[in-house]
Amino acid sequence: MTLEDFPLWQAGFAAIRERPATQRAYALGDQMKGRFDLTTDEEARKVLFGPGAKSWSCV
């Protein structure tokens, strides 16, 4: 299944994507990409997920 299987949901997401606040949020996210590596930056992880956040281990 894909989003195309649900035209009403697809239309809803498209409407949200067009909102000015959503566009500003995506633009801000693009500016922030690459500033933090949450796999190695423990301080950034604590700020984002709280002090009790566990370390990630993908292997």
Distance CA(24)–CA(54), nearest Å, equals 31
Spatial separation of the C-alpha atoms in residues 57 and 44, rounded to whole Å: 16
Residue 32 has a pLDDT of 84
59 pLDDT band, cuts 50/70/90, is very low
- pTM for the predicted model, two decimal places: 0.52
Assigned domain for 27 exists: yes
Does 1 fall in a domain? no
pLDDT for the residue numbered 58: 53
Range of the domain at 26: 10-49
In a domain, 57, yes or no: no
> 16 pLDDT exceeds 80?
yes
Residue 3: per-residue pLDDT: 85
